[in-house]
Structure 1
Amino acid sequence: MPGALWRPIPVNHTRGGQDSVRGVVVHIMAGTLTGTDSWFRNSRAQASSHFGTGKGGTLYQWVDTADRAWAQAGGNRTWLSVENEGQGGDVLTDEQLDRVAQVLAWAHKTHGVPLQVASSPDGRGLGYHAMGGSAWGGHTSCPGSRIVAQLADIVRRAQKVTGAPAAGDYTAPAFPSGLAPNRAKPSAKPLQRALKAAGFMSKSVAEADNYGPRTQDAVAKFHNAHPAYRAAGKSYDPAIGPRGWAALNRLAYDK
């Protein structure tokens, strides 16, 4: 990552083991940056992290983000990790907040991580070690409640770095009254753009005013991606209303 001091470790990680990136997990070292750097190089540690910050603002990168760091057990395959110098009960310094925000901003641009606070392993965004519970090693005091309370500030700082709206800031345009299958007025083009941005319609499909079969199929695919629709037995629903419009636009643009 640009801006991080590359400090590769020869042990304690899995090459090519990162399946995907749901977000960035914040940890506390319970020690110093120098001590942690040394410990990660010891094969007895059986632990590592992608990134680490010092209280003065130093940012290390130990593991490539294509590789799996050994930081949060069951969360290693799908989450990046950032260790932070300090002890349980500490808060992150202003410099550390900026460095973690830089990591989050980079993960947003590179891996599509949304600028939001995550509260469970099923979420996406900026998370923390304790949220994984026993599946993540049972470290319920890491990084501590005071640092968890700082996560929203980190997200705001990352939003400033990227210039992108933080998740939750996006407001969907008003639903076009009268938008319905097999009609050309109002134009279906904004709907098609949102479907493409959210991944439900191929970007190669030419946009058209008419709310035709391809658009209907894409809307049905969007609906079927949500458990509530599947549970209701709606296997094919080509129409979209105000609530669906808002949900689709948020999914497409609030990342």
Structure 2
Amino acid sequence: MPDTQARPPVIWLKGEGNFTKAHRSPQSIDRIVVHVTEGAFWGSVQWLKNPRAHASSHFIVGRGGKVVQLVHVSDIAWHAGNWNTNVRSVGIEHEGYTYGPNGFTDTQYRNSAKLAGWLARRALMPIDREHFIGHAEVPGPGGGRGGASGHTDPGSHWNWKRYLRLVRQYAGVQKLSVVPVVPPGLLRGIVPWRAPATGDIKYVEFSVNGRVVWVDRRPPFAFAGGRGLNTTTLANGRHVLEVHGVAGPGRYDIARKTVVVDNKAFALTSAGVREWSKAKGPVRLRVRPWGARAARMTFTVDGRRIAVDRRAPFVFTWRPLSTRPGKRVLEIVAKSVDGRNASFRIPVVVPQPARPKPKPTPPKPVAPVLRVVSQSVADGQTAAGLVVW
């Protein structure tokens, strides 16, 4: 097995003014772009060093195997004619001609592969045609290819199968086995994400869309210590989940899975109470969550906590017997199992209590009216002695 630890020997001839200073980490690089110089080796070196060229490359590999470095790997060379590709890639020029019948030499293939294998190992980059591309495959304006100028290199004389076989050989990569395991179908809420691994893998990096978001150093390897991936932190749509199983320098495995996130909004609906209804007696409010399971619901009246429920069905009762009349606000605040919040408010009115009816007033007593019932004494009669009248 060849030495895979050190960078292959290169001649360092730094260019001036035709690259962008940066501080890229090895794992921020996930593409290697293969170019062809369309000219002689040293003439191409001098041109790409010249700031008037407005172009550069990290490395140039001659037909005799000589390798010159013009731009530090942590900096951004102007090689692809596409800024997004430049930012994430390393450019390697090869002395030759895209349509030249002489093709490329065995020494050139091998020394370029040694360099690319070293770069791929540092970046934990998969060695395949998705991550090793030609200049002709770089996105161009208007949906075209070949970068801004429509390049077609390295052309049909470049042997990709041979080149990638050599890159894998010189990278010293031993295929282990690590697999990203997530539930099938659309992903919603919190989902388990495991990485079953064989061999002597020491740790697994979990990456979302090219960014490492978790490292597990203890088998069985799982994202977030087995708590799962909260997909609500991702936008709905396609995402790439990737796992890097690392056993040591030059010994790793990478596997990826494209998933589709389709979370629904977390919302609440209720029944039993209408807005501005009169709360004349006990109020019973039924609440249902949508889009995710609710882990907790809190019921308050005017900000004062009345009840907390953690299990469905969510039913809350409020008795306003000792509550002062007037407007009151019922509020439900819910938290989903994936950490999202939802709430709603319902204003109600506590009416004035009914006044008691007054007791009836008894009638006043009426004085008797005297009247003549019968008469036994004639008018003008002189009464003498006992007279009955």
Aligned-pair distance for 1:138?
3.7
CA distance change for structure 1 residues 227 and 189 in 2, over 3 Å: closer, same or farther? Answer: closer
Where do residues 66-81 of structure 1 align in structure 2 (5 Å cutoff)? 66-74=74-82, 75-81=85-91
Which structure carries more helix by proportion? 1
The match for 1:14 is 20
Which of residues 68, 71, 74 in structure 2 aligns to 1:63? 71
CA distance change for structure 1 residues 208 and 114 in 2, over 3 Å: closer, same or farther? Answer: closer
Deviates more, 1:220-229 or 1:25-34: 220-229
Aligned-pair distance for 1:56?
0.9
Aligned counterparts of 1:212 and 1:140: Cα–Cα separation in 2:
42
Aligned counterparts of 2:135 and 2:223: Cα–Cα separation in 1:
47
Aligned counterparts of 1:61 and 1:137: Cα–Cα separation in 2:
24
The match for 1:32 is 40
Contact kept, 8 Å, 1:18 with 1:76, in 2: the verdict is no
* Identity across matched positions, percent: 22
The match for 1:229 is 260
Cα-Cα RMSD: 3.7
Contact kept, 8 Å, 1:104 with 1:115, in 2: the verdict is no
Unaligned runs of 5+ in 1: 119-124, 176-187, 237-255
Aligned counterparts of 2:224 and 2:24: Cα–Cα separation in 1:
38
Does the alignment pair 1:50 with 2:58? yes
TM-score calculated relative to the size of structure 2: 0.46
Contact kept, 8 Å, 2:38 with 2:98, in 1: the verdict is yes
CA distance change for structure 1 residues 33 and 17 in 2, over 3 Å: closer, same or farther? Answer: farther
Which of residues 116, 130, 140 in structure 1 aligns to 2:128? 116
Structure 1 counterpart SS, 2:36: coil
Amino acid at match of 2:122: T
Which of residues 145, 148, 161 in structure 2 aligns to 1:152? 161
Query: What per-residue deviation string (whole Å, max 9, x for no partner) do you get for residues 1-45 of structure 1?
Result: 441111111231111175831121000101011001111232221
Aligned counterparts of 1:213 and 1:66: Cα–Cα separation in 2:
30
Tell me how many residue pairs correspond in the alignment: 209
Structure 1 counterpart SS, 2:138: helix
Amino acid at match of 2:126: P
Where do residues 188-203 of structure 1 align in structure 2 (5 Å cutoff)? 190=196, 196-199=204-207, 201-203=214-216
Amino acid at match of 2:226: T
CA distance change for structure 1 residues 106 and 207 in 2, over 3 Å: closer, same or farther? Answer: closer
Structure 2 counterpart SS, 1:87: coil
Query: What per-residue deviation string (whole Å, max 9, x for no partner) do you get for residues 133-190 of structure 1?
Result: 424224342221221xx1221111111112214xxx66668x9xxxxxxxxxxxx894
Aligned counterparts of 1:88 and 1:114: Cα–Cα separation in 2:
26
Contact kept, 8 Å, 2:32 with 2:91, in 1: the verdict is yes
Amino acid at match of 2:98: G
The match for 2:355 is none
Structure whose alpha-carbon radius of gyration is higher: 2
The match for 2:170 is 161
Where do residues 77-88 of structure 1 align in structure 2 (5 Å cutoff)? 77-88=87-98
Aligned-pair distance for 1:197?
3.5
Deviates more, 1:216-225 or 1:40-49: 216-225
Deviates more, 1:127-136 or 1:59-68: 127-136
CA distance change for structure 1 residues 213 and 47 in 2, over 3 Å: closer, same or farther? Answer: closer
The match for 1:239 is none
Q: Return the structure number with greater relative CO, CA threshold 8 A, min gap 6.
A: 1
Unaligned runs of 5+ in 2: 1-6, 142-146, 182-193, 208-212, 242-256, 265-290, 293-389
Aligned counterparts of 2:166 and 2:86: Cα–Cα separation in 1:
25
Aligned counterparts of 1:67 and 1:213: Cα–Cα separation in 2:
33
CA distance change for structure 1 residues 23 and 228 in 2, over 3 Å: closer, same or farther? Answer: closer
CA distance change for structure 1 residues 44 and 227 in 2, over 3 Å: closer, same or farther? Answer: same
Which structure carries more strand by proportion? 2
Contact kept, 8 Å, 1:23 with 1:107, in 2: the verdict is no
Aligned counterparts of 1:131 and 1:198: Cα–Cα separation in 2:
28
TM-score calculated relative to the size of structure 1: 0.68
Structure 1 counterpart SS, 2:117: helix
